[in-house]
Amino acid sequence: MSTPASLLCLILAANAAPILLWLALGTRLGRPIDNGCNLPDGRPVLGSSKTWRGVISAPIVSAALAALLGLPPALGAAVGLAAMAGDLLSSFIKRRLGLESSRPAPALDQIPESLFPALLAADPMGLEVSDVLLVVILFFVLELALSHLLYRLGLRRHPF
């Protein structure tokens, strides 16, 4: 059954996968996507916290969860990739704005990584525009709350 709740779960899983791997592995296998390169503005392309490990883990975890939810694993993988595309775009924009890696930027940190996968999955899941907006709003609220919790647990450098 395709519901906004199942889509929200897929997006949350995609965004949790890189964090869980970081907790389990630290920096091992965490090769930065931008390989430490800077653009002519002198700032990193994405920053050291955006790794291939994270981008690869998101679609795998989302595909597995989709299968458990009775959704096509390929849809779950696509949701995971779209969430990571939104996250990478946010990081790119944050670097251009001069914000350091892992510094909070409310809305910029949540909207692309929830909107991209929600738009991608809307048609295959039979969701309405109101469902997409609900998923984005709920992700925004949950992500802010989880960020505060992770900060209090010492797992995040900055609260949102």
User: Taking a C-beta distance cutoff of 8 angstroms, is the pair 132, 5 a contact?
Assistant: no
User: Taking a C-beta distance cutoff of 8 angstroms, is the pair 32, 48 a contact?
Assistant: yes
pLDDT confidence of 52, banded at 50, 70, 90?
A: very high
Residue 158 belongs to a domain: no
Residue 157 belongs to a domain: no
Residue 138 belongs to a domain: yes
Domain range for residue 104?
Answer: 4-152
Q: Indicate the number of domains in the chain.
A: 1
Residue 91 belongs to a domain: yes
Residue 85 belongs to a domain: yes
pTM for the model stands at 0.90
Please indicate whether residue 157 or residue 24 has the higher confidence score (pLDDT). 24
Structure tokens at 65: 């969860």
Residue 160 belongs to a domain: no
Residue 30 belongs to a domain: yes
pLDDT digits (tens, 9 = 90+) for 24-50: 887 788 899 999 899 999 999 998 889
57/15 Cα distance (integer angstroms): 9
Residue 67 belongs to a domain: yes
